[in-house]
Amino acid sequence: MSVVASPEESPPDSTQRIDSFNGEQSVYFVPLRWWKDAQESTPSESADKREVLYTAATTGSSYGGPMKLINNIFNSDILFDLRREGDGLQNGEMGEASVSGREFALVSSDMWLQALKWHHDDKKNEKGVKSFSAGGVDRGDVYPVQLRLSVAQETNSLAVKICKKDNSVECFRRACKIFSLDSEQLRIWDISGKTTSFFENDVSNSKDCQQQTDQEMLLELQIYGLSDSIKLKESKKEDGSPQQTNGITNGINGGTIFRFGRSNSLSFLGKAGEAGTLGLTGLQNLGNTCFMNSSLQCLAHTPKLVDFFLGEYSREINLENPLGMKGEIALAFGDLLRSLWAPGASTVAPRTFKAKLARFAPQFTGFNQHDSQELLAFLLDGLHEDLNRVKNKPYVEAKDGDGRPDEEVADEYWRNHVARNDSIIVDVCQGQYKSTLVCPICKKVSVMFDPFMYLSLPLPCTSMRTMDLTVMSADGGSLPVSLTVNVPKFGKFEDLQKALVTACSLPEDETLLVTEVYNNRILRFLEEPTDSLTLIRDGDKLVVYRLKKDVDNSPLIVFMHQKLEEQVILGKSSPTWKAFGIPLVSRLSDVENGADVENMYLKLLSSFKMPTELFTENLENPIEEDATDKAVTDGTTSVEDTNSTKVKETTESLPDPDPVLRLYLTDDRGSSIESEILKEKPVNNKSKRLNVLARWPVKELDVYDTCLLSSLPEVSKFGTKRPQETVSLYKCLEAFLKEEPLGPDDMWYCPGCKEHRQAIKKLDLWRLPEILVIHLKRFSYSRFMKNKLEAYVDFPIDGLDLSSYISYTDGQTTYRYMLYAISNHYGSMGGGHYTAYVHHGGDRWYDFDDSQVNKISQEKIKTSAAYVLFYKRLYKIKAVELRLVYERERGELGRRPKRTKLRSLGVAQPLDGSTYHSSFFIIPLLNPNTFSLHHSTGSIMALFFSPATSALLFLTLSLALYSSIDPFNHCAISDFPNFVAHEVISPRPDQVPWERDSQNSLQRSEILFQNQVQGPESVAFDPLGRGPYTGVADGRVLFWNGDNWTAFAYTSSNRSEICDPKPSALSYLRNEHICGRPLGLRFDKTTGDLYIADAYMGLLKVGPEGGLAVPLVTEAEGVPLGFTNDLDIDDDGTVYFTDSSINYQRRNFLQLVFSGDNSGRVLKYDPLAKKAVVLVSNIQFPNGVSISKDGSFFVFCEGDIGSLRRYWLKGERAGTTDVFAMLPGHPDNVRTNKEGEFWVALHCKRNYYSYIMARFPKLRMFILKLPITARIHYMFQIGMKPHGLVVKYSPEGKLVKVLEDSEGKVVRSVSEVEEKDGKLWLGSVLMNFVAVYDL
């Protein structure tokens, strides 16, 4: 273990290697008895080591009496001295371990590994256990403890300090128990020689320097064999002494007893899979590096590779290989693997490996997403070349078989290959297949035997898509027909046309017109045959019109329908025209005047006319029919009986409509009327399409079946589960091995014909490796499209039998394999997420998801996300797998250490490593003029000048002490040990506007979609005017198609049942980092792409067709995005967005608000450079961002300060910021309307409590430490009552409008304001609805 003079240079939580390349070793702290039992196995390692004995003693500077209690509150580090008793004892001369068990040993990593191996394999011959493998065995409960040492030559001792700040809470708590000096004497034998070097270095330094300075050295001990989680029965001889042959005993503080058995199963000190278990270490995602982490975890658990890289692999590095990388890739991978397997390792950040990778493989530079299999292929090849044992490669000429036996030719090829390529990778991972080419002309046969590192197997499955459409006649001769067709999933419109022609049995004189209908109008005509079918979303509604072929290219006439309906607004009813039904289309031929147009329309409607009998019954019961028609045309069904009186009142409340049908010329949306079409007047049309709006009187509409006219299915009903394609792994292998002709671009030069031929190729497996890597070819590429196959591959776990697929067998090698790792890919092309499943002995599997490592059942590892499979060979001789068994024996247990009490205050001082903070006003109270302490009968007494002052100060001191130690962890920041309260420079009350909306205008808002959306933070409309779109709490982006909400996009590929609907928006906080949380939404008006700011996934983009969003950037200037919040897009495609904090995630937004954290950033994403740069940093909760109408600047919200800040993009002030406006509250998002004004959504109004808390961080810290929940603090922050508030500012920054609901009766919270068509759409991250306010 390295020792450094400046501890700051070595982070205490950094993971250390077991045995680094430069020979540096870790130091292990183990029970002496355990070491002595295994000492016989390591004589060579310890023969030259002096065994130095140290006894621990309390440091002379320790406080005693009552001051010791005060010192424990404010400085609870562990301080003691290690006095050197002697260093003359040679190995083997130490005495027997004491009965108390308070004797320990310091050993090097090599000694520890050999001792561990000895304990593991002591009875292997008797039990038949296979040899010890460092890569395949859990090594028990190992955790690091950081010690600060300083040498005292005059006393021949080491001063030891164990600081809380250097260690994790759990490790410090354990250290308190191990190094406690309150009971029995503690003796430590140093067998590693590390402490001797401290004294020697100290003497050397003192000779070189006249004035010796106090210098602390940092030593990290790897604690093994000591855990408070295990309580084992003490094993004694008949005379009461501990057993020496079967185990060791070790007590801590005279309490818990430990025993380590000498058998083929180690008594294990932690539960399998807990954080201390070796090998179960996550890798930090550095920004779209999940592909790399997935492959690395699979390789890091490949048995022989682990053993190789944990050994002396550096001796095999080939520095002379011109094809290699000077050993740098091998060293980087070896160091990384050792870090992953290091005792006590936490999450590892593979930055060094990533840098080496980018240096030698530029395709992996940056932070774009890549293919895990491509990385795996490069890494295996790079490791092979760096570790190639062949220094000078001989020249080898490949020879054809020429009729020789295949066995002879194959062996010759393999010998030639190994003569040039000999490494651990070749030994473990490389196999050989037979390649046969047959000329189709001269029948020349060519046989070659080539090596392979992995098998890339195709997936023999189809890729079709089922689409539902509605077919309409163009002459009114038939009713609409629902039609289902199968088309290629990634085909073109011409494929859909062909499928429709076949399904409709279309005659030669007809043609088809395919359209998309949205909101009762034709949104677009699908006429371009080369367009991709991926542009058609599952939620779209397609209508196909059968038209007569027209050689004269007559224009089309499109009829849209409206009817008069009653709408209730603010309690008053008013009539309004509402669109309904499917548009009708025909050819505009033989039409001269308005009467011809009306006749054509009525003819198209003739098939929807109801039978005469039914119509007569409706005339006899007009009230009942009216009620039924209203329910049908509204698209709703009523479960309540409606009485005739009520319906009659409704009918009478409507004004008398026109008694006749009227037709009007309109635009393609049917939103504006140009002129009325009169029967006697001619119709002039010069465009390709004539749009006609039909407005129906109520009574005449009763003749037609409007329900049938309005029925329109979606292309694919959302939520409908289709059977997933399943294919066996053996079928994939058969597809790989079957004969197939070479492609035109891969023709073979036939030596018989002397020409290039499209030969027939056949592959056969000839020699299989010990580790078989199988790559499933889920991705395919072409000039026009990219595709991923989502088929479920059924692969064996314990018994992959390839004996029937191998062409040559030697009768000795087995061809059965067991799965031990899987690289998974979730999502679609161009995005998604990679994880790894790894087998860890027995039936235990673990899910490695970047830094997260969780246990997973074996039944769940087979999914359609499996991408790369890792198999290891099973041997015929049954091997007994070594397991480390956690044994917890019942028996005589010592008492748990008691908690020290401050009796006078009744507050417990826990020994759990929690930090004690002094409050900001407790120090002035410790003044000898006003406060004194003395010790009397074991209590602390406070003496003050007067009883009143004494009581007040006692209460203040009690609150301060409680706030300092928070003994019950009930405060709002108990889960945030590094919480810091920052000052917020909030403006004075006279600097902010206090205008109010006395009318509470927002109470007149209409509540839409209640309980249909949870937490609709952002509201957006696409370039075609469709929408709204909104991001909700379960991680989806929803789209309102006019009838219902459909899932448009996802930001996370890790969706599961934990993302299912929950009762409130806050219920999702716990799993937001898994499901995603889309906050900001903006459409690119040019491309139609939707850009998403997701709080956890960063900045993403999804095409107009929707689906899984593709990450664009997850870091900026080397710092990951912590809380991506909002965005806006400039005309040139540049994206400006905010990162609210790099220290707090959105699920901790309350703590972010409480802290005043100033790590927020405003950033710019360049779509050409594909990277983000920081424009403004050190901001307190930046949130909304919006570009001005002229593009000269953008504004962004400063949530904590409550201001709108301007960043100049153009002009002399470009690149600078200034205050645009001080706001009357704390802002969330900001949006620009068409006039260039800025609508700002305010989370809450300012109040004096939030002002005081902002300006006095110490007071805020004190209050936050009191046992008050975060929710109550939040209510104080917003003024105790949720309320809605939005304001509008002019382009010059002047307040022009205030709208609020101060009582929170209708709009309780507003996160965003989007103005569209004279209405304000109000979204809220906390509410379950969208509110609409009519301007």
pLDDT score of 817: 93
pLDDT score of 789: 79
- Report the distance separating Cα 710 and Cα 562, nearest Å: 12
The stretch 711-722 carries a mean pLDDT of 62
Rg (CA), the chain: 39
Q: Do 455 and 774 meet the contact criterion of CB atoms below 8 Å apart?
A: yes
Structure tokens at 1279: 């003024």
**Taking 90 as the threshold, does the pLDDT of residue 735 lie above it?**
no
Contact residues for 1113 (Cβ-Cβ < 8 A; gap 6+): 287, 367, 1098, 1099, 1121, 1165, 1170, 1171, 1172
pLDDT score of 259: 29
**Taking 70 as the threshold, does the pLDDT of residue 658 lie above it?**
no
Percent of the chain with pLDDT over 90: 26
Q: Which of 903-917, 1023-1037, 1118-1132 has the lowest mean pLDDT?
A: 903-917
The stretch 26-43 carries a mean pLDDT of 74
Res. 1240 pLDDT band, cuts 50 70 90? very high
pLDDT score of 341: 86
pLDDT score of 829: 63
- Report the distance separating Cα 431 and Cα 410, nearest Å: 11
Which of the residues 825, 833, 839, 1073 is marked catalytic?
A: 833
Q: Which of 298-307, 945-954, 1053-1062 has the lowest mean pLDDT?
A: 945-954
Q: Which of 103-107, 205-209, 753-757 has the lowest mean pLDDT?
A: 205-209
Determine the number of helices (DSSP H) and then strands (DSSP E) in the chain. Answer: 29, 69
pLDDT score of 755: 87
Buried-state track 756-779, b at ≥16 Cβ within 10 A, e below 16: ebebbbebbbbbbbbbbbbbbebe
Q: Which of 170-184, 670-684, 1017-1031, 1129-1143 has the lowest mean pLDDT?
A: 170-184
Which of the residues 176, 290, 732, 1075 is marked catalytic?
A: 290
Q: Which of 109-118, 260-269, 969-978, 1146-1155 has the lowest mean pLDDT?
A: 260-269
pLDDT score of 148: 86
pLDDT score of 208: 43
Res. 12 pLDDT band, cuts 50 70 90? very low
How many Å from the N-terminal Cα to the C-terminal Cα in the chain? 71
pLDDT in tens, 81-124: 888 876 544 444 454 444 345 788 888 887 887 787 777 665 44
**Taking 70 as the threshold, does the pLDDT of residue 722 lie above it?**
no
The mean pLDDT of the chain is 76
pLDDT in tens, 353-377: 988 888 888 888 877 778 889 999 9
Q: Compute φ and ψ for 878, nearest 5 degrees.
A: -65, 125
Q: Is 209 a catalytic residue?
A: no
pLDDT score of 1251: 84
Q: Is 750 a catalytic residue?
A: no
Question: How far is it between the farthest Cα atoms of the chain?
Answer: 124
- Estimate to the nearest angstrom the gap between the alpha carbon of 108 and the chain centroid: 39
**Taking 50 as the threshold, does the pLDDT of residue 129 lie above it?**
no
The stretch 987-1004 carries a mean pLDDT of 87
Tally of CA atoms within 13 A in the half-sphere of 604 that contains its CB: 26
- Report the distance separating Cα 1180 and Cα 1184, nearest Å: 13
pLDDT score of 1187: 96
Q: Which of 781-790, 925-934, 1261-1270, 1308-1317 has the lowest mean pLDDT?
A: 925-934
Q: Do 1250 and 1204 meet the contact criterion of CB atoms below 8 Å apart?
A: no
Contact residues for 990 (Cβ-Cβ < 8 A; gap 6+): none
pLDDT in tens, 492-532: 888 899 999 988 888 888 899 999 998 889 988 988 888 88
Q: Which of 100-114, 957-971, 1095-1109, 1282-1296 has the lowest mean pLDDT?
A: 957-971
Report in angstroms the alpha-carbon separations of 1258 from 384, 975, 1269: 59, 19, 18
**Taking 50 as the threshold, does the pLDDT of residue 19 lie above it?**
no
pLDDT in tens, 1278-1322: 888 888 999 999 999 999 999 999 888 899 899 999 999 999 999
Among residues 733, 826, 835, the alpha carbon closest in space to that of 774 is found at 733
The stretch 716-731 carries a mean pLDDT of 69
The stretch 303-329 carries a mean pLDDT of 88
Res. 386 pLDDT band, cuts 50 70 90? very high
The larger pLDDT score, comparing residue 233 to residue 836, is at 836
Res. 943 pLDDT band, cuts 50 70 90? very low
